[in-house]
Amino acid sequence: MQGRQVRKGEARSKVRAFIQPVHEFRDEGIRDAKPPIEHVALFDEAQRAWHHAKTADFLKRRKGVLEFAYSEPEFLISCMDRHEDWAVIVCLVGGGQEIHTGEAGIGEWIESLNRSFPGWHIYISSRLTDSEYGAGRILDQIRSRPHVFMKDELHLSVSMRSFRAENLSRLVKELLDLEASAAVRTLHELREKYPIVITRDLMKAKHWLRSHARGSERYGLVASSHAERLKPYAIDVKSPVNPIHWFLDGKEDVRSSYYLEDVATEFHIQGLELDWACVTWDADFRHTGDGWQHWSFTGDRWNRINKPERRLYQKNAYRVLLTRARQGMVIVVPSGDSDDPTRKPEFYDPTFDYLREVGFATI
């Protein structure tokens, strides 16, 4: 600043201009048809941008914009496409992180380019073909398009979240994709640096957490937002947790994660982490001989989830839950209750058996 004193408000204004919520960028593009001032736009968690139906519905209800014709990725690209000279869009993508209704995934960015912007050059990580990115079909469609470049260097392979477990994300992917043999190998590589155990007993799991955590290392209970039949274990996913108290308060506060009473769901914990986690696994996501089954509890019974989009969100919810701990975790699969038709042992046993066959130690 060449020695000039800067008021705090002016500095804050400059930072705001540099870091802007994506929805504000979108709304500015709707109000003003001119090219944005930026020639380079970086979209963090780009997989969470909305598909067309979600975008159009939101803008109609909240902004009075009628018959909006674009998905969020397509419109954001169109804003940068207004430049007559050049523009660059960088999309940072987390694999399998779409858990909110309307999140379109990285596939919609690529499909939008293929559908509406033939002149753009596309540089893609070679790892986008992995199943958790959900872009395989779209990538096949653009292979014959000019100016498409696959680059190994665009994949950020080292996890910054879990400093003791760079292979954790790979293990969770293999578990969820039912690649049992690969999961066995990855677990063998991981187990010395990153302990993971399974149990049917929630009290044993809590004791394991407390005995492994040192000093101020934070631990807590997490569960799927659809895990509604954990109530007999005093785990109520519908009881709102205060994330500020849960993540920040100390061991003496009953609202903190340390007390192992309040449970955080995938919506509370996405993008954040604990040192140690107890993942409580309900019958909403069940392992069977035919693959995963997806269920939602409504009223007094479980109902099958058939819509592919909702199935993906549920699978990704467990991906989020299983990758929140930096140092280790315990997974609780309840035994169920043969006298309770909503918690039959056969809802839970195959999931526990699958995890045990992969090689997780039992406590």
pLDDT digits (tens, 9 = 90+) for 24-69: 888 898 999 999 998 999 988 888 888 898 899 889 988 888 889 9
Would residue 33 count as lying in a domain? yes
Reply yes or no on whether the pLDDT at 332 is more than 70.
Answer: yes
Would residue 61 count as lying in a domain? yes
- CA-nearest of 74, 79, 176 to 131 is 176
Q: Residue 134 and residue 251: Cα distance in Å, rounded?
A: 40
pLDDT of residue 95: 65
Specify burial of residue 118 (Cβ count, 10 A radius: 0-12, 13-18, 19+): exposed
Reply yes or no on whether the pLDDT at 143 is more than 90.
Answer: no
Domain boundary among the residues 126, 154, 182 is at 154
Read off the pLDDT of residues 202-249 as tens digits, 9 standing for 90 and up. Answer: 999 999 999 999 999 999 999 999 999 999 999 999 988 999 999 999
Same domain, 234 and 174: yes
- CA-nearest of 215, 214, 227, 343 to 279 is 227
The sign of the torsion formed by the CA atoms of 341, 305, 323, 349 equals: positive
Helix axes 22-31, 72-80, angle to 10 degrees: 60
DSSP 3-state of 168: helix
CA distances (Å), origin 288, targets 182, 296, 345, 350, 355: 19, 16, 13, 6, 12
Q: Domain containing 237: what range?
A: 168-362
Same domain, 228 and 200: yes
Amino acid at 228: E
Reply yes or no on whether the pLDDT at 142 is more than 80.
Answer: no
Reply yes or no on whether the pLDDT at 15 is more than 80.
Answer: no
Same domain, 147 and 281: no
Same domain, 144 and 17: yes
Same domain, 184 and 314: yes
Amino acid at 280: T
Domain count, the chain: 2
Specify burial of residue 95 (Cβ count, 10 A radius: 0-12, 13-18, 19+): buried
Same domain, 49 and 73: yes
Same domain, 33 and 179: no
pLDDT of residue 204: 98
How many other β-carbons are positioned within 10 Å of the β-carbon of residue 321? 28
Would residue 296 count as lying in a domain? yes
Report yes or no: 41 and 86 within 8 Å, Cβ to Cβ. Answer: no
Question: What DSSP element (H or E) covers 122?
Answer: strand 122-125
Q: Is 50 left (phi over 0), alpha (psi -120 to 50) or beta?
A: beta
How many other β-carbons are positioned within 10 Å of the β-carbon of residue 40? 10
- Which residue has 């779409």 as its token pair? 98
Would residue 311 count as lying in a domain? yes
Same domain, 144 and 222: no
pLDDT of residue 352: 98
Would residue 217 count as lying in a domain? yes
Would residue 1 count as lying in a domain? no
Reply yes or no on whether the pLDDT at 16 is more than 70.
Answer: no
Would residue 337 count as lying in a domain? yes
Q: Mean of the pLDDT values across residues 250-276?
A: 93
Same domain, 123 and 272: no
Report yes or no: 194 and 327 within 8 Å, Cβ to Cβ. Answer: yes
Q: What single-letter DSSP state applies at residue 126?
A: G
Report yes or no: 339 and 116 within 8 Å, Cβ to Cβ. Answer: no
Same domain, 285 and 211: yes
Two structure tokens written together for 125: 């990580």
Same domain, 247 and 329: yes
How many other β-carbons are positioned within 10 Å of the β-carbon of residue 65? 14
Domain boundary among the residues 84, 119, 154 is at 154
Q: Residue 98 and residue 314: Cα distance in Å, rounded?
A: 9
Would residue 163 count as lying in a domain? no
Amino acid at 63: K
Domain boundary among the residues 154, 189, 212 is at 154
Q: Residue 166 and residue 269: Cα distance in Å, rounded?
A: 19
Specify burial of residue 192 (Cβ count, 10 A radius: 0-12, 13-18, 19+): exposed
DSSP 3-state of 276: strand
Confidence of residue 1 (pLDDT cuts 50, 70, 90): very low
Same domain, 145 and 178: no
